[in-house]
Amino acid sequence: MLISTPSSDATLYTQQKEENEKQHCNLAIRKITVATIVGEGSDAMLTIQHHQLVLAALGIPGDHEIFFQASEVLPRRIN
């Protein structure tokens, strides 16, 4: 998914960001990567979040817990 906005204060960007937080589990199930570009021109910043499911062993054979993880790459300037 690609999100682009001139400002992090933009109303539609804020709404989309909140919706993504609500749908985090669904994004993880589908292994969605979200690339977000905030700003314009040489001041634009790129952030990448990869949502995925993680299977964690609980120490009991055959017993596992599934949880959702979002890993985020630090924002980078787009040159």
Query: Tens-digit pLDDT profile for the chain (79 aa)?
Result: 999 999 999 999 999 999 988 988 888 888 888 899 999 888 888 888 888 877 665 555 555 555 656 666 666 676 6
45-48, long-range: CB within 8 Å, 24+ apart, which pairs? 45/75, 45/76, 45/77, 45/78, 46/75, 46/76, 46/77, 46/78, 47/72, 47/73, 47/74, 47/75, 47/76, 48/72, 48/73
Structural domain boundaries, residue 44: 2-77
What is the count of structural domains for the chain? 1
How confident is the model at residue 41, as a pLDDT? 86
Distance CA 9, CA 7 (A): 5
How confident is the model at residue 78, as a pLDDT? 67
Q: What is the DSSP letter of 58?
A: -
How confident is the model at residue 16, as a pLDDT? 95
